[in-house]
Amino acid sequence: MKKPSLNCHIKTGDTIKIIAGNNKGIIGKIKSIIFKKSIVFIEGISPRIKLLKKTSQSELTQKELEIPIHFSNVMLWDEKIKSASRIGYKFIEGKKTRYFKKSGNLI
């Protein structure tokens, strides 16, 4: 079994574009990240509806669930050039910073 990745090119609050799956092409912000499972939760994706069983006290109810997406299916969105781009790292004044490889802009 492959170990999950604890390193990730994205962080909470980044704007991303989904590049694979049913929601391909949607742009949204990252709400939370689970590193052990290598998944992210994104704002702006339509949630799935789950029907809960009927109990003696309550009737049939619905619950909205967020959709998790794997790290590999998202790319960071560069607002200046309106395009998704890969990420690189530079050391500026002793600090490691991220930048877009297409435009060279710092994140």
The CATH number assigned to the domain holding 40 equals 2.30.30.30
Task: For residues 96-101, give the mean pLDDT.
Answer: 94
Number of domains in the chain: 1
Identify the domain containing residue 72 by its residue range. 15-100
Range list of β-strands (E), 22-94:
27-34, 39-42, 48-52, 61-65, 68-70, 74-78, 83-85, 87-92
Measured CA angle at 13 (ends 27, 79), to 5 deg: 50
State the pLDDT at residue 103. Answer: 92
Instruction: Convert the pLDDT of each residue in 18-50 to its tens digit.
Output: 999 888 999 999 999 998 888 999 987 878 888
pTM, two decimal places? 0.77
102, two tokens: 């297409």
CB atoms within 10 A of CB 7: 6
Instruction: Tell me if 105 is assigned to some domain.
Output: no
Rg of the chain in Å (alpha carbons): 18
Give me the pLDDT at residue 45, please.
Answer: 84
Within 8 A by CB and 6+ apart from 52, the residues are 60, 61, 62, 63
Residue 7 domain-assigned?
no
Task: State how far Cα 62 lies from the chain centre.
Answer: 25
